[in-house]
Structure 1
């Protein structure tokens, strides 16, 4: 299996790292290209041993999968530069937020497209990824794409109009957790903890909670550790009274709305 990455940003790097770490792809089976940042391409080549697409575009002509990992505003330019070199039986695997299958096919030609929304936890093989197939993606190609995506985390197949929701909770979700972790560290330091100790405690708290969440309903877990009139109840009550849940809802709604706007801006 060979794949060419059109775009070389953080999402592409996270997926490349995950594929190589899990040995689903060899470095020599991955090629990278982007519009202008040669330093970025040199970094990826040096760091991961992947190849760079040369002027002859031979890797594109050989690759059954094309990872489209550019910014929404750059999709048309990126695809116009490569569409004549893409194999007619290839699949474009897009991680571009907001840009529809129809829009990608309009720019790339009538080609199979799988739209995905992973997150940067792909870097450690823990991405939560949503995917939707165009009608042209064969069952065999779906299995191969599932293998690629399962190697960097878990996969949820959704209708295309639900991919905005995946973006809101999974694509952007790690940043919400990082922000909460930052706030918890700051609060720990306010209570007298050293920075390193607060970091260690918060990091392990998130790791332990994530493991527990694999085994039970989230509300059950919350209720189980919340004793009446205890410290956890006091903390939760303060969060709820200060609009914690509504703030989270608004964050997700805003990310979903921005995903939809990106598609409209593209068109």
Structure 2
């Protein structure tokens, strides 16, 4: 069984580890043994735990899951040269990772929190000789898409990486709308979850515009609700969200 070494023990690292734990041996490197033990408890399996100070990366396959601002600090504490670093750091360029961590190879990845249920949409780019390995590794937690360059993965960060938060906002708002009209909260939540589950299947095969047209009959309930969304500039706000997230990724 191959070993994957996580540097960082936050939510994203935990989500990815949950997706990988059946097929890979997991070891995790962090600053605090107490936090590493909590990570192990949440993961539900025994893992090898190491403190960051003087950790040797030599010939290891690394999943880098720290905050973008902490790259320099991490580089000052570790030693050795990793075989490859798979980085989930938003907006952190391949050149910066090479300069600070000096691995043999780098692949930038952008999974999302659905990794914990093996449903992540993960975008990838970097050293092309690791494309197949990257797709196999991150394919264990969902669907992957190799992109041509770093600009594209920075854009994709705002779509796939940040997207669960946007969809969560919409899910909550639609549920609140049903409650406002008189539906019980438990019923509204159950219906919303069923809606998202079914929609997730449909959108795999049907273009969004065709899906919308198939639901919206002339003068019907969907048309009335859709008009309200357009009046609220929801389409424009969604497009702006991607732009803002992309620009923020460039600033990190």
Which structure 1 segments of 5+ residues have no match? Answer: 263-267
User: Could you say which residue in structure 1 is the equivalent of 2:146?
Assistant: 157
Q: Could you tell me how far apart the structure 2 residues matched to 1:39 and 1:56 are?
A: 18
Q: CA deviation at 1:111?
A: 2.5
Q: CA deviation at 1:148?
A: 1.0
Deviations 1:199-258 (CA, angstroms, capped at 9, x unpaired):
000010011111111111111111011000000011001101210100111111111111
Q: Could you tell me how far apart the structure 2 residues matched to 1:57 and 1:242 are?
A: 52
Task: Calculate the aligned-residue CA RMSD, in Å.
Answer: 1.6
SS at the partner of 2:223?
A: helix
SS at the partner of 1:49?
A: coil
User: Could you say which residue in structure 2 is the equivalent of 1:243?
Assistant: 233
Which structure 2 segments of 5+ residues have no match? Answer: none
Q: Does 1:32 find its partner at 2:33?
A: no
- Structure 1 residues 137-156: aligned runs within 5 Å: 138=129, 141-156=130-145
User: Could you say which residue in structure 2 is the equivalent of 1:52?
Assistant: 49
Residues 44 and 50 in structure 1, CA contact (< 8 A), matched pair in contact too: no
- Structure 1 residues 194-205: aligned runs within 5 Å: 194-205=184-195
SS at the partner of 2:121?
A: strand
**Number of aligned pairs?**
247
Q: CA deviation at 1:142?
A: 2.7
Residues 181 and 202 in structure 1, CA contact (< 8 A), matched pair in contact too: yes
Q: Does 1:76 find its partner at 2:72?
A: yes
Q: CA deviation at 1:57?
A: 3.8
Q: Could you tell me how far apart the structure 2 residues matched to 1:40 and 1:254 are?
A: 33
User: Could you say which residue in structure 2 is the equivalent of 1:265?
Assistant: none
TM-score normalised over the length of structure 2: 0.93
Residues 101 and 115 in structure 1, CA contact (< 8 A), matched pair in contact too: yes
Q: Does 1:252 find its partner at 2:247?
A: no
**Where has structure 1 moved over 6 Å in runs of 4 or more?**
none
User: Could you say which residue in structure 1 is the equivalent of 2:93?
Assistant: 100
Residues 124 and 134 in structure 2, CA contact (< 8 A), matched pair in contact too: no
